[in-house]
Amino acid sequence: MTLRHGTLEIGCPVPRVDAAAKVTGEEKYAIDHTPENMLWAGVRRAGVPHGRLRTVHVEEARALPGVLCVLTASDVPGTNRQGIVHKDQPVLAVDRVRHCGDPVALVLAEDRETLAKALALVVPDIEPLPSVHSPEEALRPDAPAIHDSGNVLLRAVIEKGDAGGAFGECDAVVEETFEVPFQEHAFLETQNGIAHREADGKLVMTVSTQAPFRDRFEIAHALGLDPFSIRIISPYLGGGFGGKDGATVQCLLALAAMHAGGRPVRMTWEREESFIAGYKRHAVKMHYRVGAKRDGTLHALECDLYYDTGAYAHLGAEVMELGMEHAGGPYRIPNVRVKGWCVYTNNPIAGAMRGFGVCQTAFAVESVMDMLAAKLNLDPLEFRRKNALRRGDENCAGVTMVHSTGIGACLETLSRHPFWLERRDWKRAAPPFKRRGVGLAAVFNAMGYGRGLPDSAIARLELTLDGRIRIYCGVSDMGQGNSAAFVQIAGEILCQDASRLELILPDTDRTHPSGSSSAGRTTYTFGNALVQACNALKEKLFHRAALVLMLDEEKGLALLPGRVRHLPSGREASFELLARMLPEADRASVGQFIMPVAHDVPDTGKEFAIGFPHVFFAYAAHLARVEVDELTGRIEVTEYLAVTDGGKVINPQGFEQQVHGSVAQGLGYALTEQLLLDRGAILNAGFADYILPTALDVPEIISVAAETFEHTGPFGMKGIGEVGTNGPLPAVANAVNDALGRRLTRSPLTASRILRAMEEGPAQPVT
Amino acid sequence: MTLRHGTLEIGCPVPRVDAAAKVTGEEKYAIDHTPENMLWAGVRRAGVPHGRLRTVHVEEARALPGVLCVLTASDVPGTNRQGIVHKDQPVLAVDRVRHCGDPVALVLAEDRETLAKALALVVPDIEPLPSVHSPEEALRPDAPAIHDSGNVLLRAVIEKGDAGGAFGECDAVVEETFEVPFQEHAFLETQNGIAHREADGKLVMTVSTQAPFRDRFEIAHALGLDPFSIRIISPYLGGGFGGKDGATVQCLLALAAMHAGGRPVRMTWEREESFIAGYKRHAVKMHYRVGAKRDGTLHALECDLYYDTGAYAHLGAEVMELGMEHAGGPYRIPNVRVKGWCVYTNNPIAGAMRGFGVCQTAFAVESVMDMLAAKLNLDPLEFRRKNALRRGDENCAGVTMVHSTGIGACLETLSRHPFWLERRDWKRAAPPFKRRGVGLAAVFNAMGYGRGLPDSAIARLELTLDGRIRIYCGVSDMGQGNSAAFVQIAGEILCQDASRLELILPDTDRTHPSGSSSAGRTTYTFGNALVQACNALKEKLFHRAALVLMLDEEKGLALLPGRVRHLPSGREASFELLARMLPEADRASVGQFIMPVAHDVPDTGKEFAIGFPHVFFAYAAHLARVEVDELTGRIEVTEYLAVTDGGKVINPQGFEQQVHGSVAQGLGYALTEQLLLDRGAILNAGFADYILPTALDVPEIISVAAETFEHTGPFGMKGIGEVGTNGPLPAVANAVNDALGRRLTRSPLTASRILRAMEEGPAQPVT
């Protein structure tokens, strides 16, 4: 509503263009599409964690009136394999099931009720096999092999300097083991989509997906189709967080559409199915050893990381890779050795999730930083400032920091905040039976795909005959607000208000390939392409306006809302006029951009196929104030401060929303969220017992931007979609330690663990 | 001290490079220079506001032991005229005195005590003339003429649309007269300097000045010297605020040095002399009439402005010009007629002061905006948002806004602040005998000199043999922190920490002409030149490093602290090595920049010689919470919120300091500061009765940046030195009206005026 008052300007907290349509319910997510004559597709899942699939009894289901067909692996025409990098996951299980959620048959029915009945009538005949449910078990020599290649998806090392030898030169060393569980994405809109096949064989799908362009190739590969015969349309997502990066319903839905005789088919995973079959944040066990000199200079780091990737790869190797790249925190440590094992188990599939492997190591490294500071009797903030990466330093992965490196700026800003300055008074004012603590975390998160996988986007603009500008956007918006940022960028450069701009959401037939909405790269990469497209269109409009206005040169021309004005004379050419004068093919502009990569590829991490190393990072310094109830063990995070370096901020409101969302998700991860598993089966596959923080549980989160300037970014910005999730767990754990003198090394930090910690001696960390 | 931890990055709140030296007292201001064998120079002033100077009796003073010489107008070798644009002010009065501070004789003595005695012995013989002390008096046909040209320095009109006719189309019209007094700059370091003449005739001066390069020409013109025989050195200033822009001690001190036989001479104006002879903020009387449509759309504005410029021009015409250019506020008003009279009187000389003519009109226009909103029964914030300038609009001076236009962003940001959202609850919670009010002001201030006076700067960098980078800075730092910003800009682009950077403060023999430190242009203009110089030096270093490192191409080179690194190979060339390889003349780079100007010069304001119109503006939305004591009339500003659009912020700490300083100065202007004059004589020429707000009087000022992006600025920044002073008076006046239902139209808003307002009826504005 406020938009009518102002042009779109970079830096202005203009309300998101999608806000009104979303709050009124007008906006249509994939799940809101219910075409007439629609069929329902669904999947029967294995229900056992590991076994030989002898056969699937489908006869009874097929016979049910209203059932169109029941398909099994033999009906899959292509490779029957999906996976973003490692294609190890069958669309429908062939002769083996590797986790409870493995799909064994696909049913196509006239309606939802019939579908449910039919699915219940499908009976897989599975011979159980011994299953493994932790990396330790899976790595035993006698462990059953989950895949033919064995149970290790990736074993890798990052090494620089001489970590082993360097510990001898340290004045203080701390060592600890940390453990974090699986986390659920818990988006509001579960995995779903609709699809139909057109008369000419074209497959048209509207899916809740983070990567519409890649989806075409996933489906084509799995089902033996021509990728260009597939059209993917991606409306706004009701959340994604990484869980909709890669195939969820896509291949199954496409297979169903191929058997629907041209009728539209819907597949929607219910919440329980979303829990069972969806991707998770990896459970990880981490052993850390870190040493410093007497003056607080970090000197050596060693850690061993065990990522439980579940039954299939998804992006497991890449997730661990990023965790390893960030394992040393945003610090300058000359001697580093990080070993990682990414291991298959018969647990649910782990994959991409906001914070992408880094959330886990951030807990460990930021806990040991506090332990080390305490051992050296140093202030934890000063200790971090002293070791914080500066431009020109080498990070723990051996890459020289030549781009904006704002962890110093974040810590400096945090150090001036009353929550830090007044921490002692605040703690002293704890009410009876409460203990108060203040904890810090310094975190970072890479932006983009990294080397070996070009991080590219292509933006297209079109001047319409009615004088508006249409932005063809190739990257999905899963709620993070990138679409609104794109409108703001175009508005800024072209000097147009929202009423003159139109955004076309991703559609493989209309927009251009621009990669996935992920990796903190969406606004950066597509934004850069868009800046180029805007400048190209501006140039074109100026050139044509000069002709129309009979000007000898273009000097003095300016873009104004809906028109080009020659400022010295005051003469104007309307966009409508210019559009009519331009041939249709010339009423457009295209900009393309590939993210720069590191020029110094370290002599380490050779096991990484793609995506290592990174050169761009967002940074954050977080502070949590907690109050622990001595009687119940309950932790209340009373206030939370997040200082974030995302370069120049495009929209302060959008920035704050990203920070609030990621911190809330991180607090869930810190305090309550965990998948409870019993031999691979999820015990809490619903929101009644998988505990998400509600609005009432989330404290006041104060977001402060430490705005560095990233020279390569659009207007100097960097992506901050991920970094905020990495701080809450370590910040809260450090605050709890500050309150109780007890360090929890296993998350989430539940009341029962707190009570146990208070009962035990202070010397022993609580696991 | 924190600098050791971090590189200098744009956006990081790094402590100012000058902070430590200033707080420890190590830094030497002009006033701290006391060379051996130093003489003292001083001036005898007229003491009467207007008169014919028959003669000056200097014999007794000359005879005093320790007196070197006593000089009068006949000893001035040049034109004996100074003035930045209009050279109407004598260095020493010839046959006329026009205000009490006019200098009639210059004394040079061995020490300060002798100087004081000698000055007392100088007796000017003045025949009093009738004097005038307000524009009204001065404009009367029978008023005595202060200058041969009459009493009008400038009469000018800005007109667009048809203001006269447009009022007939308005649904609501308000009309009011406002009055503001003279304000003192009140810098800590009074006007001063030292000078000596070298054997070759060169005049070397260290002066507290905002415009060292211009000073040479001022002195040369007045004293008949070659400007290039004068060297001006400008250390950090202990405040300036416009009062050290243009000659203060310069010509007098140079004249003294010419008679000192090569010995150094000091001239320091004591506080009282600083009051009497220094420049002031103009007293102004303003008549406003403004009209709007029923829906709140502003439609017509007429105003008549009378600026009292005192005895001489200084920048009086230009000050009024800027006031007129801003007279309509940051709003879209189609029909405007602004008339201005800048009038000589026998009052102290008015000239440049932070807010430069705009402070005054901001009071009037923001008061009438509230009056009009009230008349239309509209919310004052919504009314402002509705009419706020957007890019693409024409401002009241007829210029199309094509650069960053952040008043919308400021108002949007303010609208979300608790001070605004919770205003009603806050007001209701007023303690007994107190009334609370919340007031707004939307203000703006042009950046740069405007058309006709190139706003230029030249930056030079040098790579020293010890591998450091020296920044030759041509613009003074009067305390606003531009020097620190320059170090930060160079640190960012060249990736160096403060220890590797050295700043050379302005010195006409070492640095390059870069204009004055004024007009919100200092960091913008010099910063842009510096960005160019940094990029040129970077290119040079890369080129040489490629040779040294035997590289086929420059790709993969990066600047790191003290060295260039080839990232792919890890090989490095130190700055020391590169410096030794470069011939001396090639170890430098130069960047130069001229600020862009408006392409659309409106067909109005033809009376303005230079400096009209402007295209760049900083914007701010201010909110004051006031508590008025019903018994004493005292206003307490309890909290203050300033939302400022200065484009991208280079250093958040520096930004906040500028906002705090300007708001504090604006609050002094609002509440207590005013020169009390009795026929041109200042009654309160000292800080005992000219009441400045102390640290205890200034409320908590919350500064929020609304960071738009100015494409032409260094890193997207704009200057904010001035805009903050324009808000407090109208914001507080509007808050008082909100509290009491009484509008004060005359400032400062003293307790006695408040009491009178409460006694009188609500209908009548209080003057």
Q: B581 to chain A, minimum CA–CA distance in Å?
A: 23
Which residues in chain A have Cβ-Cβ distances shorter than 8 Å to B565? 400
* Residues B386, A716: C-beta atoms closer than 8 Å: no
Measure A8 CA to nearest chain B CA, in Å.
Answer: 9
Residue B673 within a domain:
yes
Pair (B257, B285) in one structural domain: no
Q: At a CB cut-off of 8 Å and minimum separation 6, what does B638 contact?
A: B625, B626, B627, B699
Nearest to B617 by CA among B523, B518, B723, B729: B723
- pLDDT tens digits, A108-143: 999 999 999 999 999 999 999 999 999 999 999 999
Q: Are residues B496 and B510 in the same domain?
A: yes
Instruction: Check: CB of residue A251 under 8 Å from CB of residue A89.
Output: no
The residue among B381, B412, B451, B534 with the most chain A CBs within 10 A of its CB, best to mutate, is: B412
Q: Which of B579, B594, B609 is the last residue of a domain?
A: B594
Residues of A in contact with B645 (CB under 8 A): 11
- What's phi and psi for A169, nearest 5 deg? -90, 0
For residues B439 and B470, membership in a common domain is answered with no
Residues B443 and B502 in one domain: no
CB atoms within 10 A of CB A397: 24
Closest Cα in chain A to B5: A386
Q: How much is the pLDDT for A268?
A: 98
Strand pairing class (B469-472; B501-504) = parallel
pLDDT class of A761 with cuts at 50, 70, 90? low
Residue B767 lies in a domain: no
Neighbours of A553 (CB within 10 A): 7
Distance from CA of A706 to the nearest CA of B (A): 6
- CB-based contact A9 B391, cutoff 8 Å: yes
Asked whether residue A622 is domain-assigned, the answer is: yes
B652 contacts on A by Cβ (under 8 Å): 413, 706-707
Q: Of B108, B44, B92, nearest to B273 (Cα)?
A: B44
Gap between the Cα atoms of B370 and B732, Å rounded: 12
Residue B596's closest chain A neighbor by CA?
A: A556
Q: Do A409 and B716 touch (CB under 8 A)?
A: no
The answer to whether the beta carbons of residues B235 and B28 sit under 8 Å apart is yes
Structural domain includes residue A2: no
CA atoms within 13 A on the CB side of B605: 29
User: Which residues in chain B touch residue A713, judged by CB atoms under 8 angstroms apart?
Assistant: none
Tell me how far CA of residue A421 lies from CA of A413, A414, A438, A440, B727, in angstroms. 11, 9, 11, 13, 31
Report pLDDT for A722. 97
Q: How far is A715 from chain B (nearest CA, A)?
A: 8
pLDDT value of residue A8: 85
> In chain B, which residue's Cα lies nearest the Cα of A408?
B6
A274 domain residue, yes or no: no
pLDDT at A5 over 50: no
Q: A171 with A292: CB under 8 angstroms?
A: yes
Residue A12 counted as domain residue: no
pLDDT digits over A492-531, tens only? Answer: 999 999 999 999 999 999 999 999 999 999 999 999 999 9
CA dist A109 and A260 (Å) reads 9
Q: Are residues A588 and A460 in the same domain?
A: yes
DSSP symbol at B90: E
Radius of gyration of chain B (CA): 27
Q: Hunting for tokens 């420059």 — which residue is that?
A: B554
Residue with tokens 């230009």: B318
Q: Are residues B651 and B508 in the same domain?
A: no
**Measured distance CA(B302)–CA(B40) in Å, rounded:** 52
Alpha helices in A549-651 (DSSP H): 575-581
Which of A594, A623, A638 is where one domain is finished? Answer: A594
- Shortest CB distance from B13 goes to which of A9, A409, A599? A409
Asked whether the beta carbons of residue A707 and residue B405 sit closer than 8 angstroms, the reply is no
Q: Do B391 and A5 touch (CB under 8 A)?
A: no
Same domain, B89 and B47: yes
Measured distance CA(A242)–CA(A279) in Å, rounded = 8
* DSSP notation for B391-436: TT-B-TTS-B--S--THHHHHHHHHTSHHHHTHHHHHHTPPTTEEE
- CATH number of the domain to which A63 belongs: 3.90.1170.50
Comparing CB atoms, the residue among B6, B408, B649 nearest residue A707 is B649
Q: Give yes or no for a contact between B327 and B396, defined as CB atoms under 8 angstroms apart.
A: yes
How much is the pLDDT for B540?
96
pLDDT of residue A2: 37
Q: How far is A711 from chain B (nearest CA, A)?
A: 9
Asked, for residue A181, whether it belongs to a domain, the answer is no
Residue A4 has pLDDT above 50, yes or no: no
Of B408, B558, B708, the CB nearest to A5: B408
Residue at which a domain ends, from B238, B268, B298: B268
For residue A715, list chain B residues with Cβ-Cβ distance below 8 A. 709, 716
Q: How many angstroms separate the Cα of B362 from the Cα of each of A746, B330, B357, B518, B725?
A: 60, 10, 9, 19, 10
Per the CB < 8 Å rule, is B495 touching A392? yes
Rounded distance between C-alpha atoms, residue A676 and residue B214, angstroms: 76
Instruction: Give A516 to chain B, closest Cα distance, Å.
Output: 28
Across chain A, what does the average pLDDT equal? 96
DSSP for residue B388 = B
Least CB–CB distance from B10: residue in A558, A567, A708: A708
Residue B15 corresponds to which tokens in the numbers above?
């402590």
| Tally of structural domains, chain A | 3
CATH number at residue B521: 3.30.365.10
A-chain residue closest to B708, CA distance: A11
Residue B569 burial (CB count, 10 A): 12
Dist CA A405 CA A411 (whole Å):
12
Are residues A362 and A408 part of one domain? yes
Question: Are residue B650 and residue B667 in the same domain, yes or no?
Answer: yes
Scanning every residue of chain B, which has its alpha carbon at the shortest distance from the alpha carbon of A488?
Answer: B708
- Whether residues B573 and B634 share a domain: the answer is no
C-alpha to C-alpha distance for B184 and B281, rounded to whole angstroms: 7
Work out whether the CA dihedral B352, B354, B356, B362 comes out positive or negative.
negative
Does residue B120 sit within a domain?
yes
Task: Show the low-confidence residues of chain B (pLDDT under 70).
Answer: 1-7, 761-767
Q: Range of B348's domain? A: 280-389+396-451+600-760
Mark whether B287 and B325 lie in a shared domain: yes
- Same domain? For B690 and B580 the reply is no
Asked if residues A418 and B38 have their Cβ atoms less than 8 Å apart, the reply is: no
Q: Nearest by CB to A708, which of B11, B598, B707?
A: B11
- 3-state helix vs strand vs coil in chain B, percent to 5: 30, 25, 45
Helix B380-387 with B358-375: angle, nearest 10 deg: 110
ipTM: 0.93
Q: How far is A599 from chain B (nearest CA, A)?
A: 5
In total, the C-beta contacts within 8 angstroms joining chain A to chain B are: 175
Q: Convert the pLDDT of each residue in A551-562 to its tens digit.
A: 999 999 999 999
What is d(CA B373, CA B172) in angstroms, rounded to the nearest whole number? Answer: 9
| Rg of chain A in Å (alpha carbons) | 27
pLDDT at B761: 62
Contacts of A568 in chain B (CB under 8 A): 599-601
